[in-house]
């Protein structure tokens, strides 16, 4: 039974998240339904990570096992045909070994969070960014973010519903990038780690926004981290601006 790795892109707005749900649309459910059009089901695919409702995917990775020995290009083309009109696309497909797993073989995940700063309502970017109206201090947010780099107990920055066994994670990178364009000022938060806790990225960015406005200082954020208390967290930002950008593996199956 051959196994295939899938590189997946999706717009999260119409979905209740990645994970299949009985009574709501999901990205996993859409792909499994497309697979059932190719081979009799049911099918169960495994992903590198579960994104929440409204979160987007640029580089989600999943794997599936099929009966037929498909040429990877033909499989991706067939799946994209049956995924229409859902905003989900298979960007690439590769055959992998039976011991390869989209989640457990991964060695890093990369997320992007986009914040658009402008007074006028977002139109073209609606549903794809978090819009704030007042200027943010990117340098202060970077200073605060530096306190989160490395191995820490991230209890403050994880959902109370998080099912991870431990709140201790190693954050490899948080980089704040400011871009100027005719559409407005955009702040991009690049986060990289082996794995993330539930709501960790949105909790971190929401708290960094408080630093950006001047309501918090960078040291306030460090004190919140050291408190190891969810009540010390700043506001959790909305899902619209969050993207799973990529998943790293020792050997990239799509190279």
Q: Which of 52, 220, 229, 252 is catalytic?
A: 52
Task: Return all residues near 151 (Cβ < 8 A) that are at least 6 apart.
Answer: 168, 169, 170
Which ranges in 68-137 belong to alpha helices (H)? 72-83
Q: Is the peptide bond before 76 cis (omega within 30 degrees of 0)?
A: no
Work out the burial of residue 236: count CB atoms within 10 Å of its CB; fewer than 13 is exposed, 13-18 middle, 19 or more buried. Answer: middle
CA 163 – CA 159 distance, rounded (Å): 9
Q: Is 229 a catalytic residue?
A: no
Question: Are 252 and 102 spatial neighbours (Cβ–Cβ below 8 Å)?
Answer: no
Closest CA to 12 of 100, 117, 86: 86
For the chain, the farthest-separated pair of C-alpha atoms sits apart, in whole angstroms, at 58
Q: Say which residue the tokens 């859409």 belong to.
A: 30
CA distance 231 to 155: 10
Residue 204, token pair as written in the block: 């971190």
Residues forming the active site: 52
């Amino acid at each position: 039974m051959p196994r295939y790795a899938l590189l997946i892109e999706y717009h999260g707005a119409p979905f209740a998240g990645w994970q299949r749900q009985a009574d709501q649309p999901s990205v996993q459910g859409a792909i499994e339904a497309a697979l059932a059009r190719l081979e009799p089901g049911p099918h169960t695919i495994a992903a590198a990570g579960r994104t929440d409702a409204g979160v987007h995917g640029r580089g989600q990775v999943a794997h599936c096992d099929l009966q037929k020995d498909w040429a990877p290009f033909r499989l991706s083309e067939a799946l994209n045909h049956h995924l229409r009109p859902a905003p989900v696309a298979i960007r690439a497909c590769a055959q992998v070994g039976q011991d390869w797993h989209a989640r457990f073989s991964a060695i890093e995940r990369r997320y992007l969070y986009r914040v658009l700063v402008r007074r006028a309502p977002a139109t073209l970017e609606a549903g794809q960014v978090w819009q704030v109206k007042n200027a943010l201090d990117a340098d202060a947010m970077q200073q605060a973010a530096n306190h989160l780099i490395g191995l820490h107990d991230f209890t403050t920055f994880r959902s109370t519903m998080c099912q991870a066994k431990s709140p201790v994670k190693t954050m490899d990178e948080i980089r704040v990038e400011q871009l100027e364009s005719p559409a407005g000022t955009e702040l991009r938060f690049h986060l990289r780690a082996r794995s993330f806790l539930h709501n960790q990225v949105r909790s971190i960015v929401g708290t960094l926004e408080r630093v950006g406005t001047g309501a918090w200082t960078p040291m306030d954020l460090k004190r919140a981290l050291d408190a190891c208390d969810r009540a010390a967290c700043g506001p959790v930002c909305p899902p619209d601006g969050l993207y799973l950008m990529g998943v790293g593996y020792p050997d990239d199956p799509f190279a």
